[in-house]
Amino acid sequence: MNTDPKLNVVPFVSVDHMMKLVLKVGIDRFLTELAAVIEEDFRRWPVFDKTPRVASHSQEGVIELMPTSDGTLYGFKYVNGHPKNTRDGRQTVTAFGVLSDVGNGYPMLLTEMTILTALRTAATSAVAAKYLARPNARTMAIIGNGAQSEFQARAFKSLLGVDKLRLYDIDASATRKCARNLAGLGFTIEECSSVEEAVEGADIITTVTADKQYATILSDNHVGPGVHINAVGGDCPGKTELSKDILLRSDIFVEYPPQTRIEGEIQQLAADHPVIELWQVMTGETEGRRGADQITLFDSVGFAIEDFSALRYVREKISEFGMFTELDLLADPDEPRDLYGMLLRCEKKLNAA
């Protein structure tokens, strides 16, 4: 018989809890610590189960499951991507995730991951740039100033010291929003009227647009020697942001090639086009940036190990700060084989009430 009254409850981190947790930790500290956990897990990449995310595509968007395990813990994320949602006042991306104990299969954490995904995406981008951008890079152009842009800016400032931003979006109100939200945080911000203006003098170019289409947000003539490109927005089949010519001039770094070849910018290239796995750069198995004039491209689509890292980090933080609810999620009969008996006991209570 189970006598542990907590065995049937799972910590649940709501949106409200997540916001308060991030603010209690501090946004910059949260991003920096999360980046360290992501890098730690990338350095032990071979121990993880890896598979391209399971995707259900429609004309309107995509719904995906992203699972992985390191043999001790199992994590997955449910996430959607529906660019047209903003027309109805909804988020383009929403998500939640679960972390479980491999030993018994019981979930250990259920959490919102809409905010958390924005944080982990930004942290991963900054970790990649630490290895791929030129030393002392300080100026970043952000093309696409929607929901992800402020997180990207905060992460790059926290990890790399980027303090000059050149912002552009086809919707000028999005650029104004981004500049307003980042005011007073130590950035020099220029609101630009074109991509050409935004990329002028940039050490790093981040593209983070949302439309599900083959697009050329960044053209070949926008990219000069030595630039690091952080391509975030192209993350599903039929959705790209960069000119193919840029890809052919760049050294391309990816998370998990079988997924990126389906979803990333490299879906435009031949299936055998050479790419470099980011984890191998972090472990020193291969080189990242080799020289000042090299163009480096992080073809970021988001991979399950990054979500695993985020789940692992949040579980650690709620043990320190709280910010969760105990959710009655798991059946816990007095005798494990007598699940039906739980119904009978509940019936008795109902009849006695």
- Nearest Cα residue to 260 out of 235, 295, 281: 235
- Cα separations in angstroms, 329 against 11, 183, 218, 346: 10, 42, 47, 16
Split at pLDDT 50, 70, 90, the class of 183 is very high
Split at pLDDT 50, 70, 90, the class of 233 is confident
* pLDDT at residue number 231: 96
Within the chain, all domains assigned CATH 3.30.1780.10 are found at 9-115+306-352
Alpha helices in the chain (DSSP H): 15-25, 27-42, 114-132, 149-160, 172-182, 195-199, 244-249, 257-263, 278-282, 304-321, 339-352
Q: Among 35-49, 162-176, 321-335, where is mean pLDDT lowest?
A: 321-335
pLDDT in tens, 255-280: 999 999 999 999 999 999 999 999 99
Mean pLDDT along residues 129-150 = 96
Most confident of 89-98, 148-157, 216-225: 148-157
182 CB neighbour count, 10 Å cutoff: 19
Split at pLDDT 50, 70, 90, the class of 60 is confident
* pLDDT at residue number 216: 85
Residue 170: left if φ>0, alpha if ψ -120 to 50, beta else—which one?
alpha
At 279, which amino acid appears? W
SS3 78: strand
Length of the chain measured in residues: 353
Cβ-based neighbours of 276, under 8 Å, separated by 6 or more: 251, 252, 253, 254, 286, 288
Predicted confidence (pLDDT) at residue 5 exceeds the cutoff of 50: no
- pLDDT above 70 covers a percentage of the chain that reads 97
* pLDDT at residue number 213: 66
* pLDDT at residue number 2: 36
Q: Supply the pTM of this predicted model.
A: 0.94
From the number of C-beta atoms within 10 Å of its C-beta (0-12, 13-18, 19+), residue 299 rates as buried
d(CA 62, CA 214) in angstroms, rounded, equals 16
* pLDDT at residue number 146: 93
Residue 325: left if φ>0, alpha if ψ -120 to 50, beta else—which one?
beta
Buried b (16+ CB within 10 A) or exposed e, 266-276: bbbbeeeeebb
Predicted confidence (pLDDT) at residue 143 exceeds the cutoff of 60: yes
Class of the CATH domain delimited by 133-302: alpha beta
Split at pLDDT 50, 70, 90, the class of 334 is confident
d(CA 212, CA 86) in angstroms, rounded, equals 13
Q: Which residues are marked as active site?
A: 235
Mean pLDDT over all residues of the chain? 94
- Nearest Cα residue to 263 out of 50, 62, 42: 62
Residue 301 tokens read as 């689509």
Q: Among 4-8, 178-182, 189-193, where is mean pLDDT lowest?
A: 4-8
pLDDT in tens, 301-311: 999 999 999 99
Mean pLDDT along residues 293-306 = 97
* pLDDT at residue number 93: 87
What number of CA atoms fall less than 13 Å from residue 281's CA on the CB side?
A: 23
Q: What are phi and psi of 202, to 5 degrees?
A: -80, 135
The larger pLDDT score, comparing residue 327 to residue 6, is at 327
Within the chain, all domains assigned CATH 3.40.50.720 are found at 133-302
d(CA 258, CA 249) in angstroms, rounded, equals 22
Q: Which CATH number fits the domain 9-115+306-352, given the four candidates 3.30.1780.10, 3.40.1160.10, 3.40.1350.10, 1.10.287.370?
A: 3.30.1780.10
* pLDDT at residue number 211: 66
Mean pLDDT along residues 63-86 = 95
* pLDDT at residue number 207: 96
Predicted confidence (pLDDT) at residue 126 exceeds the cutoff of 80: yes
pLDDT in tens, 25-56: 999 999 999 999 999 999 999 999 999 999 99
Mean pLDDT along residues 302-321 = 97
Mean pLDDT along residues 214-223 = 88
pLDDT in tens, 84-125: 898 899 988 899 999 999 999 999 999 999 999 999 999 999
Mean pLDDT along residues 18-29 = 98
- pLDDT above 90 covers a percentage of the chain that reads 86
